[in-house]
Chains A and B, each alone.
Chain A
């Protein structure tokens, strides 16, 4: 079966510091990968998605970037964090071969990021 792992679970960072959140998927090949942010009491906002190694699409221009150095690894980064970057960050995957079909996305347990 497929599993998705995110770490760390909780992170407290000062304003202006760098960020690196990691997500890995096991049990599948060529997955589509996604990064979302969820504000308190709000729905999920898609930040980035990737259909393959080195292929990143950005949905919302902002202070963050994403990279996919390996097939099942997705990294969310920032060079300098802003207060507005606080939130709950979620990684998700869906089957890659069926990318253009309506397959569900499956989520990790998220990282709670607090900027001080």
Chain B
């Protein structure tokens, strides 16, 4: 069974204080790892897809990286508007229709 574990559950940062969120996964043959951002009361917003170990993607202050066992979402010099819950999900072969989601990391950036 595919499993996704995100840590920490919650993270409070001062504005400008860089940090990383972790997503550990267990899946038989990863087809893709997805990062989403979710604001309160809203649906998840797609950020990145990573396909293979060593791959990196960047968007503004966010950078996602992937190894064979985990993914990191690095946040550089965060701003209060980066506050949200960040979700990761994995997709495995033979179940292309299904994403397995982690429980998310709730990020709060204080001004």
Contact = CB atoms under 8 A, between A and B. Distances in A.
Contacts, number: 58
B101 A106 contact: no
A43 B98 contact: no
Contacts of B103: 41-43
Contact of A100 (B41, B46, B96): B96
B17 interface: no
A59 B98 contact: yes
Contact of B45 (A46, A49, A107): A107
Nearest to B49: A104
Interface residues of B, number: 24
A107 B96 contact: no
B28 to A, nearest CB: 15
B41 A43 contact: no
Given A43-B102, A99-B97, A108 B4 contact: no
B91 A102 contact: yes
B78 interface: no
B103 to A, nearest CB: 5
A110 B40 CA distance: 11
B42 interface: yes
6 contacts: A6-B43, A43-B89, A44-B89, A57-B97, A102-B91, A109-B43
Given A43-B4, A102-B49, A102-B96, 17 more contacts: A32-B97, A41-B103, A43-B104, A44-B89, A44-B101, A46-B99, A99-B97, A100-B96, A101-B96, A102-B31, A102-B51, A104-B49, A105-B34, A107-B36, A110-B42, A110-B43, A112-B41
